Structure 1
């Protein structure tokens, strides 16, 4: 049964069977990585490399109980102290920067566990205040190595399929030269570490099925314990907005802040310079056939034209969008539902249709409506209910 990712062999579909492939877009995968932050780290890496400044990468590889950031959060640290990204809400960054600079100086990776489960964070000299345990890996970056962690991140950011990245975090002395380096291919990883390929496969499958990265514990050569980070990296959300009015520009502002790709379908003569500047790509209505949906793509109808919205829903519905929203009152959608059903479309059996669109936050202005739309898309893609955190039992993440 194949699993995703160039680090587990050749790149393959995220599913193990045709049945799962067909259901992929109807059940959006849970997303965990901040692709916007990863792109910023890559840009900073390129800049520092050009300036011949040495650097290290701090990566959250383990989290227990409460933590502001999750596994996979990263911060790139230059030898001169410049930083991009983050591994906490600000309480770890100062200490982490110093440890990253030490890793640069010693050219040796290291691990630090920030543990405040007992609430006594004074012992490590920082104020966490979140009663959790965060494990951070500090890796010096060799810019001459085409397979250093940042270069590997670069190789996956533009793919639209999920990727799995595996790194050795802890192990016996004989494997210290592999710590912090991305490892490729299950068979090769098993050969180099002594880990059972079957156990590695099970751990990878657990990550891909749940959509959550994890720090796995394995038995290596002669039963020596070791830990590997198995991280699932997914592409940024792509949003297709059908419409060319001013409220689409408000949506563009929000998607820019989130780091999403915004593609807009509308009447080309109505696309102003602002549309060109704030969107990823513009399409005329006659070019809509160029757009293909995947499991990370949301679709919102906001043309304010009943016939156009209906035609676009009829066009995209066979692709089973992971999220399909439509502006307008409930009665408008009910009428369209009846007409499309009469024309042979099964909207009743499609669970990812949202109309009226957006979370109920009392939105009135175009900007507030855009925020409500993006919030609802996020809840669907993260498989969360979208309620208030104060009402949630257990941990936030």
Structure 2
């Protein structure tokens, strides 16, 4: 998501024609998957990446030609022969202008936290970009489609040590960050792309924050502290006559974070953000060397985290 936001920010600043390169198909192993984008500026500078750095210059040079002629291009690059990535990719390169409706649509979706339904059609030399209805999901041969989800929203309950490291790392990932000292008085709208981290280090405030967090349908709720403290808080909730719904408990993680051996605030922040990323992307956060099959999920939609 940070990369897409960087692209949209640079696009908004530019007053001349630009190039937009999008990976629309991959075969075998590739560094980036379908939906990855790169913006090419008039002077050849680029924003975003399509690989580990091995094809960006070539794509940028082709994009400059596309910007000059206005004719889109579909590039097929066999990375097995030249780069040893054991795969091939197809990249759609097109010319875009300031005020482009499609880029405005992406920007509006991000700012309003709405999913962006995107299609790219490039059959028989014809290209089309834009939004499409949620129930229109098949483009056929020569088309690429994706669902770009809203950015992760990190809500931190509790103004305590370690917040700076946690929120800095989250912002580096392109997430939205909000600090709530009194969540029970908040009218903040939350959704399935919201992650709530409770770190008051005070039983009463943790109790209020946890009751508020588990009353909403969100993607992740994390509570710092020991298992004993978690159980005491849950017992207090039950004693009050209130029980969280099962769906809320499925996304409740306490102690929060992955088992990374974290001790310092920056390490703890890494542990928590890594767990949030794993939960929202539906991965188990194990060692990639132990994963059977592809290291990326094969999805018909893209979730920009």
In structure 2, relative to structure 1, the CA distance for the partners of 1:166 and 1:254 (3 Å cut) is: same
Q: Per-residue deviation at 1:180?
A: 4.0
Q: How do 1:292-303 and structure 2 match up within 5 A?
A: 292-303=189-200
Q: Which has the higher contact order (CA 8 A, sep 6+)?
A: 1
The corresponding residue for 1:313 is 210
Higher helix content, 1 or 2: 1
The corresponding residue for 1:153 is 106
CA distance in 1, matches of 2:124, 2:183: 60
SS in 2 for 1:181: strand
The corresponding residue for 2:130 is 182
SS in 1 for 2:284: coil
Q: Tell me, which stretches of 5 or more residues in structure 1 are unaligned? A: 1-34, 122-127, 187-199, 204-215, 218-225, 267-284
CA contact (8 A) 1:167 1:183 kept: no
In structure 2, relative to structure 1, the CA distance for the partners of 1:373 and 1:201 (3 Å cut) is: same
SS in 2 for 1:249: helix
SS in 2 for 1:120: helix
TM score, norm. by length of structure 1: 0.70
CA distance in 1, matches of 2:255, 2:131: 46
Q: Per-residue deviation at 1:45?
A: 1.4
The corresponding residue for 1:280 is none
Q: Per-residue deviation at 1:345?
A: 3.1
Deviations 1:211-265 (A, max 9, x none): xxxxx42xxxxxxxx4221111111100111111221111111112111111111
Bigger Cα Rg:
1
CA contact (8 A) 1:337 1:347 kept: no
The corresponding residue for 2:5 is 39
CA distance in 2, matches of 1:330, 1:158: 37
1:366 paired with 2:262, answer no
Q: Per-residue deviation at 1:348?
A: 7.9
Q: Per-residue deviation at 1:152?
A: 2.8
Q: Tell me, which stretches of 5 or more residues in structure 2 are unaligned? A: 297-305
Deviations 1:152-203 (A, max 9, x none): 322322122322111212x235xx2xx04325559xxxxxxxxxxxxx8353
Q: Per-residue deviation at 1:318?
A: 1.8
Name the Cα RMSD after superposition.
Answer: 1.9
CA distance in 2, matches of 1:230, 1:370: 34
In structure 2, relative to structure 1, the CA distance for the partners of 1:286 and 1:84 (3 Å cut) is: closer
CA distance in 1, matches of 2:171, 2:199: 18
Corresponding pairs, count: 294
CA distance in 2, matches of 1:339, 1:348: 16
1:80 paired with 2:43, answer yes
1:137 paired with 2:81, answer no
Q: Per-residue deviation at 1:42?
A: 1.6
Of residues 157, 179, 185, the one that matches 1:242 is 157
SS in 1 for 2:112: coil
CA distance in 2, matches of 1:94, 1:162: 31
The corresponding residue for 1:120 is 81
